[in-house]
Amino acid sequence: MSVVREFMTTNAQCIAEDKTLQEAAVLMKELDCGSLPICGSDGKLKGLITDRDIVVKCVAEGRDARDVKASELAQGRPHWIDADASIDAAIDLMEKFQVRRLPVLTDHKLVGIISQGDIARNYSEERVGELVEQISAKSPRGHMA
């Protein structure tokens, strides 16, 4: 049985909840990624921020990314998966919560991120097709979680 740690991207980094959205955007650029987990001062996962969140929830509203903290976008309960969980469990969570990425934790610490793309590159075509269909069919038009 395949587990999440076999497929995940391991160079994931958190943005601290007290950092600005500009700092988050700079880190995304440096890491060449489109999302970052948001971590609290206690090191625990507080949420996930995407480049789209920065554009839609800050820039498009005329707000200054140098003034808005990452914590302002860390809404709701973050969804995550354990590194030793099965890939099928990851797919089930992605489908259930309509997300394309999940932070991966071990002992309450971030160890990676698993994305729909990571799974697509490494898993059965049939199961990947189901995942894409489930997430894409239910996601609001143009929305990428």
Domain-wise residue ranges, the chain? 4-138
pLDDT higher than 60, residue 13 = yes
| CATH domain 4-138 topology | CBS-domain (3.10.580)
CB 90 within 8 A of CB 59: no
Q: Which has more confidence, 14 or 120?
A: 14
Q: What is the pLDDT of residues 116-139, one digit of tens each?
A: 888 888 776 666 566 566 666 655
Least confident interval from 32-36, 62-66, 112-116, 135-139: 135-139
Six-digit token string for 57: 């929830």
pTM equals 0.77
> Averaged over 7-28, what is the pLDDT?
93
pLDDT higher than 60, residue 20 = yes
d(CA 40, CA 34): 20
Q: Are strands 15-16 and 35-39 parallel, antiparallel or unpaired?
A: parallel
